[in-house]
């Protein structure tokens, strides 16, 4: 599922990843460097010099002469322009992401997620970058918290930039998916931590989530780089799971305690709202929300990707999905996650 179907054509390219020391960036870089005909140069831009040093010692990265580490912040457009010099492809993964922190520090999230996104666009325009893919989140679809609102604004900025790029050979697109299974701050490590107490807190017993592994997320970004024409929002088709099934798979011996939904949290993950149904195309393994700009050849895009229009009032959320993971499958995924982390199950 979600294996690269489109050739991203990165042979000999210079690829830059903002926020590249995070979980996604590390896995993406390792995949880049392992490509048989890969990039000539890989640049990681981030704010934390310790994380950069630690990443430079990762297996598959350490000693590779194609690697560059660049200290900087997406809030600083002057520094971004310097980092973007010579870059052909940019993957924008830098963001502030914690929902509660956004509610207490709203403008800090605006400065990174909104103003930082526009800075990335400006630097790409000035540096002659040819392709940009920005990572988004399910929380940008019908946002109910500030983090989601800033990411929706970021998505709009990247889509709209295609309308004023002029004669530049530049394509800017967005990839939208939900929480990565087992990622920091997600429910799997939280349940693993709490199961020793014999009680698992459940916010709502109706809750569902999409399931996406880190490798699948990386593969989907490679797909977007290979398929993008500019202005699209790419959304993967994924299986869902019920939070009660995850609890049964991870700790069947534990008692469940319903504690209530946290501020800014949804019962189901949404990725496409009915308001976008008239611009959504359906493909074999993904959806594409096409841009609302004039002069965009939608029919040509559908022909190239062999897609079809979504039905009227179509929406895509984890609660009404037609693909579900059962308890044994979830248990196997948890075991794989624990094994990959070197933790004790």
Between the alpha carbon of residue 164 and those of residues 121, 247, 301, the distances in Å are: 11, 48, 20
Q: What is the Cα–Cα distance from 129 to 123, expressed in whole angstroms?
A: 8
Residue 113's closest CA among 95, 98, 93, 138? Answer: 95
Give every residue of the chain whose pLDDT is below 50, as ranges: 1-4, 343-345
Report the pLDDT value the prediction gives residue 303, as an integer from 0 to 100.
Answer: 63
Report the pLDDT value the prediction gives residue 9, as an integer from 0 to 100.
Answer: 86
Q: Where do the domains of the chain lie, and which CATH numbers do they carry?
A: 14-178+212-237+271-317 (3.40.50.720)
Q: What is the Cα–Cα distance from 227 to 222, expressed in whole angstroms?
A: 9
Q: What is the Cα–Cα distance from 139 to 135, expressed in whole angstroms?
A: 12
Percent of the chain with pLDDT over 70: 92
Report the pLDDT value the prediction gives residue 295, as an integer from 0 to 100.
Answer: 59
Q: What is the Cα–Cα distance from 213 to 54, expressed in whole angstroms?
A: 23
Report the pLDDT value the prediction gives residue 103, as an integer from 0 to 100.
Answer: 92
110-140 pLDDT, tens per residue? 999 999 999 999 999 999 999 999 999 999 9
321-343 pLDDT, tens per residue? 999 999 999 999 888 877 666 54
Report the pLDDT value the prediction gives residue 179, as an integer from 0 to 100.
Answer: 84
Give the active site residues.
139
- pTM here is 0.93
Report the pLDDT value the prediction gives residue 341, as an integer from 0 to 100.
Answer: 64
Report the pLDDT value the prediction gives residue 75, as an integer from 0 to 100.
Answer: 98
């Amino acid at each position: 599922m979600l294996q690269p179907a489109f050739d991203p054509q990165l042979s000999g390219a210079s690829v830059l990843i903002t926020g590249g020391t995070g979980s996604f960036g590390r896995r993406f870089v390792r995949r880049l460097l392992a490509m048989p005909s890969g990039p000539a140069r890989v640049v990681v831009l981030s704010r934390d010099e310790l994380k950069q040093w630690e990443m430079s010692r990762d297996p598959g990265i350490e000693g590779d002469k194609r690697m560059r580490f660049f200290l900087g912040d997406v809030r600083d457009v002057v520094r971004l322009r310097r980092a973007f010099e010579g870059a052909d492809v940019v993957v924008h993964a830098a963001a502030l992401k914690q929902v509660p922190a956004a509610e207490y520090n709203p403008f800090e999230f605006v400065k990174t997620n909104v103003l930082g996104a526009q800075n990335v666009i400006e630097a790409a325009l000035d540096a002659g970058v040819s392709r940009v893919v920005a990572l988004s989140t399910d929380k940008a679809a019908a946002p109910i918290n500030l983090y989601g609102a800033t990411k929706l604004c970021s998505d709009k900025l990247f889509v709209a930039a295609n309308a004023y790029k002029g004669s530049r050979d530049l394509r800017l697109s967005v990839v939208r998916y939900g929480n990565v299974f087992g990622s920091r701050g997600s429910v799997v490590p939280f349940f693993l931590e709490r199961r020793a107490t014999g009680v698992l807190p459940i916010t709502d017993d109706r809750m569902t989530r999409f399931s996406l592994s880190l490798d699948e997320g990386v593969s989907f970004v490679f797909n977007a780089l290979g398929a993008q024409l500019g202005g699209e929002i790419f959304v993967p088709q994924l299986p869902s799971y019920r939070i009660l099934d995850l609890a049964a798979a991870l700790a069947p011996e534990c008692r469940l305690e319903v504690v209530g939904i946290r501020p800014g949290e949804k019962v189901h993950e949404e990725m496409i709202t009915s308001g976008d149904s008239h611009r959504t195309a359906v493909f074999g393994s993904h959806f594409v929300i096409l841009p609302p700009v004039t002069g965009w050849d939608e029919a040509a895009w559908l022909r190239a990707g062999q897609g079809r229009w979504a039905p009227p009032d179509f929406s895509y959320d984890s609660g009404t999905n037609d693909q579900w993971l059962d308890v044994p499958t979830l248990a196997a995924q948890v075991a794989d996650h624990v094994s990959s982390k070197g933790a004790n199950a």
